[in-house]
A and B are shown apart, each in its own frame.
Chain A
């Protein structure tokens, strides 16, 4: 399981990005994306912003769950009050993804409606309630740190977040929940 996390500003501009892998089930926390996937991930993530714009006005929740899927890439979204988006691309390992895809059928870009619940491992099944909850906790912790970051008097809206402390905090949240 590998993750690619990005914070996107109100002008659809990236503010922060971070790649990491799962730390559960003996994972070493390293991202295992194919070499050519790094740039693809950015495209996949940003292409889901259109869906975010549709969903954000029908759902006032901060956590919008899985909003988009591109082959084996699932995208979860969290909207802050200030319309900054936290997007997490999660890519299950090949076997788990195949299982999930088989149950979901060819669902295209709409969120998977009725996920199989046979796997309890966080991340193995991207749409299981366990995974949803874990991602929610991850986003919640990042949001808290994000709010602290923007409280800086030197921070203006849509500025990149370059604080190493913030990066450490995101990494810690990733290790803790995903």
Chain B
């Protein structure tokens, strides 16, 4: 910690060789609250995401590894969005999620609205008594998969693993360590209403449930 000593660091502007943008405006000069209607082109995202998938596909040995890489690409985004979205909340509802339900609602509503302009379609808890640590966030047609057709030989793959990574980032950041995976559940038949339906399976670590039980008592 001593290397961050207060006396030294104040004058570190010259030493760091830090370069400022030509207009002198760094990220600290920009407002955090962008207008709610700020939108991006879906096409540019589609091309960018397509390249991200292609990049992740390089030198992977299997589909699991590919999904892992997509997950890792999303993870830091989730971590950062957690703080960003909370600062954008109005001050009185600015609270940290303390329970699993509060956290999942934050993901379903705030995170989804910020990323995709709508809420996630459903939130479910595993009905299996053996897995009380599993929750499901359901999206009928994930935006990231809008233009993606997965080849037959990779049918296990769901590129929404990227979004799963973001969810995992939010959970990890809020101290609810979890493993999040994306699964395609839409039917392949003609006339299927939601062929791209995706379930994000959120599996929390045991200590999260332990703590949840303790908080419930207290």
Contact = CB atoms under 8 A, between A and B. Distances in A.
- Per the CB under 8 Å rule, do A and B touch in the complex? yes
A150 B80 contact: yes
Contacts of A144: 32, 87
A140 to B, nearest CB: 9
Interface stretch (B40-48, B52-60, B89-97, B155-163): B89-97
B98 interface: yes
A151 B85 CA distance: 12
A157 interface: yes
Given A83-B174, A147-B87, A164-B16, A14 B26 contact: no
Nearest to A79: B96
Given A17-B1, A148-B28, A81 B83 contact: yes
Interface in B135-183: 173-175
Contacts of A20: 6
Interface in A136-167: 143-152, 156-157, 160, 162-167
B4 A81 contact: no
Contact of B83 (A56, A82, A162): A82
Interface in A14-61: 14, 16-20, 31, 42, 56-58, 60-61
**Chain B interface size, under 10 / 10 to 19 / 20 to 34 / 35 or more:** 35 or more
A134 to B, nearest CB: 16
A60 B9 contact: no
Contacts, number: 97
Given A147-B83, A151-B84, A162 B175 contact: no
B27 interface: yes
A57 B97 CA distance: 9
A81 B173 CA distance: 7
Interface residues of A, number: 41
B13 A14 contact: no
B96 A147 contact: no
B96 A81 contact: yes
Contacts of A101: none
A33 to B, nearest CB: 11
B215 interface: yes
Given A18-B6, A164-B18, A165-B28, A60 B76 contact: no
A62 B83 contact: no
B38 interface: no
7 contacts: A60-B96, A81-B82, A81-B96, A145-B28, A148-B32, A152-B27, A167-B10
Contacts of A19: 6
B148 to A, nearest CB: 24
A165 B26 contact: yes
A80 interface: yes
B215 A57 contact: yes
B188 interface: no
A81 B4 CA distance: 24
Closest 7 CB pairs of A and B: A60-B95, A81-B86, A82-B173, A164-B13, A19-B6, A14-B1, A81-B82
